[in-house]
A and B are shown apart, each in its own frame.
Chain A
Amino acid sequence: SAVISQKPSRDICQRGTSLTIQCQVDSQVTMMFWYRQQPGQSLTLIATANQGSEATYESGFVIDKFPISRPNLTFSTLTVSNMSPEDSSIYLCSVDKGEGGHYGYTFGSGTRLTVV
């Protein structure tokens, strides 16, 4: 299965600023996924990033707030823009495992973001 390096591991940021999270995969993958996990909650999909096209955002998430880049098949970034304390969460990238048409995700190590 793929190995994903995600950074930063954690950060404390001032409200109104932006943070860019990076994920590097050790093999080429078609799709990369970005999740948010708010305190005490489960994982919520933010968007799906395909190489060479715009990311597909889930309901409730917009590109201006969470711009995503996918410059090649092994790398993606998620930016959390104009942060507020409500953005304090764990952010996770993941790639599909893709076995025989069934998808199970491998996750990066996560970024714990605290906005003050």
Chain B
Amino acid sequence: EPEVTQTPSHQVTQMGQEVILRCVPISNHLYFYWYRQILGQKVEFLVSFYNNEISEKSEIFDDQFSVERPDGSNFTLKIRSTKLEDSAMYFCASSRQATNEKLFFGSGTQLSVL
């Protein structure tokens, strides 16, 4: 069964450093998402991406965040200058439909900012 792949599974970084989280969505999917989950909290939407541009973004997704689809397979989330409060599990998701139904999530990247 096709799946969304995320790398790395764990990332430790120093506060103020840049990190790039990588995702390979399911190949015939057109809509891509990043969500995050702070330990013990709900899953929160960050951004959705379609046709090489951002469709929606949340208040969390400020100027420190950016997304990119640099080639036909990868989808990346960059945090320019990490803060302690960015520590969370980051999930990439993809879907074939524009309706936010049937999202397929990756296993996540656990980001720890020290």
Mutual binders A and B: no
B interface residues with partner A (beta carbon < 8 Å): none
